[in-house]
Amino acid sequence: MSFWGATHLVAQREINAQIRGKGLWITFALFVVGLFAAAILPGVFGDDSAPAVATFGPQATRVVAATDLEARAVADLEQAQALVRGGEVDAAVVDDPASTTGIRVIAMTQTPYQVVAALAAPPPVDLLAPDAVSDQVLFLASFAFALVFFIFGMSGVGIAQSVVTEKQTRIVEILVATIPVRALLTGKIAAYSLLVFGQVGALALLAPLALRAGDLGVLLSLIAPALGWFVPFFLLGYVLLASVWAVAGALVSRAEDLSSTTPLVTMLVMIPYLGVTFFQDNDQAMTVLSYVPFSSAVAMPVRMFAGEPQLWEPIVSLAILAATLVVAVLVAARLYTGSLLQTGARVRLRRAWSGAENPMA
């Protein structure tokens, strides 16, 4: 059988095993629930309706009419106070010639900031060179990218578990005697990558539904352009992580020992997430992060979204990521080969490297 034939069989088995397991579906279900919750719940629980105020006097009536406060005109001051005391309105706005603004706000126990804010008329602003997207939308987009990359990156621990299961049950000896080690590694990485891409694809299809359900459709049109760059970076970035996860699994012999190798990989997954979250306002740091493999998967799409870089920049960054990926897969294949048949608590990297004497690799 050819290398690709073996790879295909291995990938097929991994995908079948995952699809039949519960873990994959639980994670995916949580994702879908989280997506819809994030889109809909703020609208449901948020104090959507504007506060109601009682108004008395021509000046007060005019000022309130210019806001989106819900106005209830009353005949005199006593009546306004009665409505406030009775809790029928949040506050009363009445004429007061002594005040510089000509009006006065009456409330029960606390200053009604929402009403006060509504009454304060901000001066008009002219932007000579406005940002392509608002800071809030930029934050939201980068946070969403970082979170998706982080969670799916962490799910790569499944690859490490699959590798160590084969080591622990010793079926690996039959597998290695039958097919090339590289086919085993490639099949695993391919299987988990396809599963993750499938989930991300499904989430991408569900996102518009969720945003519309939450009446946030406008966000979608803002974030959509950034997705175009996120996709290739995510694909390469994920495969890079997957190969590292596979090595993390191959270096130990029992599932219980995985904790001795996974923290390093976890760090690699966290760097883009934390980096982009912390340095979002630091242009220099973001530029560096957008070229460093692992973090570039999130940082570059975010910068593209903000409209900063030239077109060649993401292409160079993608090329760096792709080159790193090739090197990483070659190194991973060698370490994987060298450590697959070694037993013991933890295979040292040097031993794994020199242990790759397998003639088939």
Partner 1 sequence: MLQVRSISRSFQGNKVLDDLSFHAAPGRITGFVGANGSGKTTTMRIILGVLAADAGTVTWHGVPITQQVRQRFGYMPEERGLYPKMKVAEQIVYLGRLHGLDLATARHNTAALLERLELIDRADDPVERLSMGNQQRVQICAALVHEPDLLILDEPFSGLDPLAIETVLGVLRAQAARGVPVLFSSHQLELVERLCDDLVIISGGTTAASGDRKSLRARFSTPRFELVVDGDAGWVRDVPGVEVSELDGARVVFDLPESEAESEQAQRVLQEAVRRGPVRSFGAVVPSLAEIFREVI
Residues that bind partner 1 (CB under 8 A): 1, 6, 9-10, 13, 17, 165-166, 169-180, 341, 357-360
User: Angle at CA 185, nearest 5°, toward 184 and 190?
Assistant: 100
CB of 199 to partner 1, least distance (A): 22
Task: Find all residues with CB under 8 Å of 93, minimum gap 6, and list them.
Answer: 53, 54, 55, 56, 60, 63, 64, 69, 103, 104, 105, 106, 115, 119
Going by C-alpha positions, the residue among 198, 203, 191, 200 that lies closest to residue 161 is 191
Please provide the DSSP assignment of 316-332 as one string: HHHHHHHHHHHHHHHHH
Spatial separation of the C-alpha atoms in residues 246 and 200, rounded to whole Å: 21
CB of 257 to partner 1, least distance (A): 17
The one-letter code for the residue type at 68 is D
Residue closer to partner 1, measured from CB, 67 or 339: 339
Q: In this complex, which beta carbon is closest to partner 1, that of residue 170 or of residue 212?
A: 170
Provide the minimum distance between the beta carbon of 23 and partner 1 in the complex, in angstroms, as a whole number. Answer: 12
In the complex, minimum distance from the CB of residue 155 to partner 1, in angstroms, rounded to a whole number: 19
Nearer to partner 1, 7 or 290 (CB): 7
- Which is nearer to partner 1, 160 or 265 (by Cβ)? 160
Q: Which is nearer to partner 1, 192 or 230 (CB)?
A: 192
Q: Which stretch of DSSP H or E encloses residue 93?
A: strand 91-95
CB of 183: closest distance to partner 1 in angstroms? 9
Tell me which residue of 140, 71, 151, 150 sits closest to 103, measured CA to CA: 71
Q: Whose Cβ is closer to partner 1: residue 158's or residue 180's? A: 180
CB 31 to partner 1: min, Å? 24
The smaller minimum CB distance to partner 1, of residues 285 and 361, is found at 361
- Rounded to the nearest whole angstrom, what is the least distance from the CB of residue 253 to partner 1 in the complex? 11
Question: Residue type at 355?
Answer: G
DSSP string computed for 17-32 = HHHHSSHHHHHHHHHH
285, exposed or middle or buried, with CB in 10 Å at 0-12, 13-18, 19+?
A: middle
Task: Tell me the three state secondary structure of residue 172.
Answer: helix
